[in-house]
Structure 1
Amino acid sequence: MSKQFTPADVATHNTADNGLYIIIDNSVFDVTKFIDEHPGGSKILKRVAGKDATKQFWKYHNESVLKKYAPKLKVGEVKDAAKL
């Protein structure tokens, strides 16, 4: 079973010291170690850290990107009760 997060939990992970977490389609990803590899640069990941980045992600990526990186970056899910 994957770890459960609330949006508030994810929001605390918005710096390199606390870890950089983002939400995409209710999945939580730790992009802390990925920021230097991100083809679009680290700046955009730092900007969305601690937030739901679903809209921004799908604007620039397709499903193959998520399938490629999810196994190593996904750390959990947003709790059903916490969804907006």
Structure 2
Amino acid sequence: MPDISGFYSWIESNPLYFSIFLLWVLVWKGVALWKSARKGSVLWFVILMTVNTVSILEILYVLVLHKIDTSKQEAWVKSKLKFLKKK
């Protein structure tokens, strides 16, 4: 198991930076989850809820992906999942 004591010591020595980072992540995740729920996109809601990308995926969803038709997104994901099953 990796030693994460260095990470904890960084948090203790830089609480302001950690708090800003945490607020940044929570705001973007909250907005992305809210938009996906309002649109009724269960697939994106689950992806955004479970995958942690330091807000990169959330920012992409809020700025670009939520504007795309949900049925097209889900059809694309299903086609990729079928492709992976064939391998």
Q: Is this a same-fold pair by TM over 0.5?
A: no
Structure of higher CA gyration radius: 2
TM-score normalised according to structure 2 size:
0.28
